Amino acid sequence: MKYALAFTALLATPALAGPDPESLSDGLAPGEWQAVLDAAEGQTVYWNAWGGSTTTNAFIAWVGDRVKEEYGVTLEHVKLSDTADAVSRVLSEQQAGQDTEGAVDLIWINGPNFASMKGQDLLFGPFAESLPNWQYVDVENKDVQTDFTLPVEGYEAPWAMAQVVFIYDEARLPEPPRSMPALLDWAAANPGRFTFPQPPDFLGSTFLKQALIDLSGDNPALAKPVEAADYDAVTSDLWAFIDALTPNLWRQGRAYPQTGPRQLQLIADGEVDLAISFSPGEASTAIANNELPPTARTYVLEGGTIGNASFVAIPYNSSVKSGAMVVANFLMSPEAQVRAQDPEVLGYGTVLSMDKLSEDDRAAFEALDLGVATLSPAELGKALPEPHPSWMTRLTEDWIARHGVKE
């Protein structure tokens, strides 16, 4: 992509010209990374990231404190309700010829939004695999080099691992349903006790994908663009399931929680018994923060659940790419990763390989109490791959047309 050449420009300081872009895949030499650090000092990075969780917001604030203290970089969290808003901002700037001084410097992104930005040359890079902390990333066992089937190619840096789990209160629901057909039967017998966030909320759209995978037997067509599939045939069981489920949802499907945290509040208030989450440690974190009762637990479906990595990317027209890379690199540091995995902070899965860490860093991970509601890696099982991003877009559009709440 054409913006790979921008790496040289951002490092072109009087003290040191940037590295040859063709050598970026081999990593940066120590002096070259020092040039990035020198350029980053004093920069303000606007990180556009979902702002719907107080725990996530607090973690981002901590990251800001640390990069300010360590590197002299000021981090401003631009709180988003929909990542697509930031993507649209960058696209509008590109169309207006604003190729520098962009409003977005770093973006928490994956899936369809990544596909859109990469496909329209809106991303700077490749940069991720040249960052110093990439050496610790578990590229052998974790899916950190593809995003919803699309090769990342260094245009995103991973910072958290996620897998779908379902949260329930075992005091009220000792045996939760462990497949989508079982969920439908349970909902019919217990109307009003289940809901999911309203698409296009990410978790709501994820529920649609998870249901499709479970009901279709992980059809291989899902790994390819939706346009290449017989969409009606692949999704017929899904829409029959959704049509039957909707009248038995909370408020008869006439209203939906807007976010994942709102689901947890419904469980805590005793209004529903199940919630979908993309963080295996979220329930333990919510228990620690008194947001869920201590009897909350998590489980995965018998056929497995979707997993993916969360990434950060740098728009092509950011004028503080050095600062943005410093933040991305810090997010992959053992310090940031162990804090993110702590259930009293976030409870996110790490992108790092324990075998690549120092003895002290490995010990810090091993000392974590992941919480009573957090499944072990064996209990989680191997995560199912995400469908091609075009499926999420199409499913969301179709759900809105079929069942979206009318204003």
Same domain for 145 and 12, yes or no, is yes
Close Cβ partners of 287 (under 8 Å, ≥ 6 residues apart): 293, 294, 296, 371, 372, 373
Domain count, the chain: 2
Same domain for 197 and 316, yes or no, is no
Same domain for 170 and 287, yes or no, is yes
Residue 74 corresponds to which tokens in the numbers above? 């000021």
Predicted pLDDT of residue 405: 76
In a domain, 219, yes or no: yes
Predicted pLDDT of residue 29: 63
Same domain for 193 and 96, yes or no, is no
Same domain for 319 and 256, yes or no, is no
Same domain for 133 and 49, yes or no, is yes
Predicted pLDDT of residue 192: 97
Report the CATH number at residue 112. Answer: 3.40.190.10
Show contacts of 84-91: CB within 8 Å, 24+ apart.
84/113, 84/200, 86/48, 87/113, 87/116, 87/117, 87/122, 90/117, 90/122, 90/315, 90/316, 90/317, 91/120, 91/122
Residue 124 corresponds to which tokens in the numbers above? 């700077």
**Closest C-alpha to 55, from 373, 348, 349:** 348
Regions of the chain with pLDDT less than 50: 1-26
Are the beta carbons of 343 and 285 closer than 8 angstroms? yes
In a domain, 376, yes or no: no
**Closest C-alpha to 182, from 190, 295, 280:** 190
Same domain for 29 and 147, yes or no, is yes
CA 194 to chain centre: 23
Same domain for 27 and 127, yes or no, is yes
Predicted pLDDT of residue 120: 96
Range of the domain at 211: 163-307+381-403
In a domain, 325, yes or no: yes
In a domain, 78, yes or no: yes
Same domain for 185 and 148, yes or no, is no
Same domain for 283 and 394, yes or no, is yes
In a domain, 53, yes or no: yes
